[in-house]
């Protein structure tokens, strides 16, 4: 349950760390993904089907695997960090971080005093129900990962200030939101979007942070790596189920007898 002492160090060293999004709200798909060899998994409670009612069991399911479980909360609200981290998440992804002030609020909510304002409860899953609380309290700020999503032109314009915020570890491009907000929806090779990507990567590197991104098409992985992204997510459990079922239907239709 305790976060790995090495995972965050690997991320900040900009090692190639790989993950996927889990948006079905299912502990079963979390359990499967956590044991497939990924470095991290993203349990999506912003756009996914999960929420307060599924979070605990999803994080319990992740405990049997080797991937670090990260939860995307639906909004940058302080109480949401506390609930997610107490349940055992190893990191939090925050959507729509547009300013340094918003990034600082997230960093404060993420960590215990004196590093932040997170409320303290010893009997919680993140600290093995109190069994490891002293170690957890002492080292949580060194091990828990804070990921700020960059999804608007405003965020890109403020990216150097956001990157400089102590406690923000990853600047994570949300490609769909960012392309739409740039006025170039789903045009992942558009010069304006590529320029925004490069500015995010440069700001992250200058501040000693990592740059991350989600891609839905495996063909984009290499180009994103070349730009400098190191915290990489490919696809989702929902997408994998849909593509698998479509392949199943296609195979069965091909085998159907002629009428």
State the pLDDT at residue 208: 98
In this structure, which topology does domain 7-146+215-254 adopt according to CATH?
A: TIM Barrel (3.20.20)
pLDDT, residue 257, reads 83
Residue among 47, 90, 111, 115 flagged as catalytic: 47
pLDDT digits (tens, 9 = 90+) for 201-222: 999 999 999 999 999 999 999 9
Distance CA 255, CA 98 (A): 52
- pLDDT per residue as tens digits for the range 90-133: 999 999 999 999 999 999 999 999 999 999 999 999 999 999 99
Question: Which H/E stretch holds residue 100?
Answer: helix 100-110
Alpha-carbon distance 188 to 178, whole Å? 10
What's the pTM value of the predicted model, to 2 decimals?
0.95
Three-class secondary structure of residue 114 per DSSP = coil
190 is an active site residue: no
Tens digits of residue pLDDT in 226-237: 999 999 999 999
């Amino acid at each position: 349950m305790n976060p790995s002492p090495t995972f965050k160090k690997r991320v900040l060293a900009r090692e190639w760390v790989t993950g996927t999004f889990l948006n079905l709200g299912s502990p079963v798909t979390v359990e499967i993904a956590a044991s497939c060899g990924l470095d991290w998994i993203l349990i999506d409670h912003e756009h996914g089907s999960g929420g307060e009612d599924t979070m605990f069991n999803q994080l319990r399911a992740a405990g049997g695997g080797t991937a670090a479980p990260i939860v995307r909360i639906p909004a940058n609200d302080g109480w949401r960090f506390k609930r997610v981290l107490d349940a055992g998440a190893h990191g939090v992804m925050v959507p729509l971080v547009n300013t340094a002030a918003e990034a600082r609020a997230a960093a404060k909510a993420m960590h215990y005093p004196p590093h932040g304002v997170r409320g303290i409860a010893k009997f919680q899953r993140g600290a093995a129900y109190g069994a490891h609380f002293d170690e957890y309290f002492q080292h949580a700020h060194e091990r828990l990962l804070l990921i700020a999503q960059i999804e608007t032109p405003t965020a890109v314009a403020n990216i150097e200030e956001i990157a400089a915020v102590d406690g923000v570890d990853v600047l994570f491009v949300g490609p769909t939101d960012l392309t739409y907000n740039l006025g170039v929806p789903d045009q992942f090779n558009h010069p304006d979007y590529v320029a925004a990507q490069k500015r995010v990567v440069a700001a992250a590197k200058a501040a000693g942070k990592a740059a991350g991104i989600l891609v839905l098409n495996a063909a984009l992985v290499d180009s994103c790596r070349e730009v400098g992204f190191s915290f990489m997510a490919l696809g989702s459990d929902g997408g994998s189920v849909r593509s698998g079922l479509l392949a199943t239907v296609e195979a069965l239709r091909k085998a159907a007898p002629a009428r």
